[in-house]
Amino acid sequence: MAESDPQEDVAKVASHTLAYLRSLDRKMDLVLETQGRHTERLGRLERDVAEVRRDLTEIKSDIALLENKTLTTDRNSIFVASYRAVNGPSD
């Protein structure tokens, strides 16, 4: 059997090690890039959720105002109807 040169073996190991480290570095770059995109998407999602919460609060407020307006109108209508029933229609 032919024996290999120890320096050649060391060079091969170093070359393979560096290639492996470069491969890991590329994978790490991809992971960081993906994480950055996901972080950006999460930020947008958080803003959208906050916007929806504000919209829901505004809708609840609008509903409460409309309920009050309806109740006031109904109360006024009942008052007018009862007044007319007691005093007769006005001419």
pLDDT tens, 34-80? 999 999 999 999 999 999 999 999 999 999 999 988 888 877 777 77
Q: Cα–Cα distance between 80 and 86 in angstroms, integer?
A: 10
Domain ranges for the chain: 40-91
- Dihedral (CA of 36, 38, 40, 42) sign: negative
pLDDT of residue 91: 57
Contact 84, 90 (CB under 8 A): yes
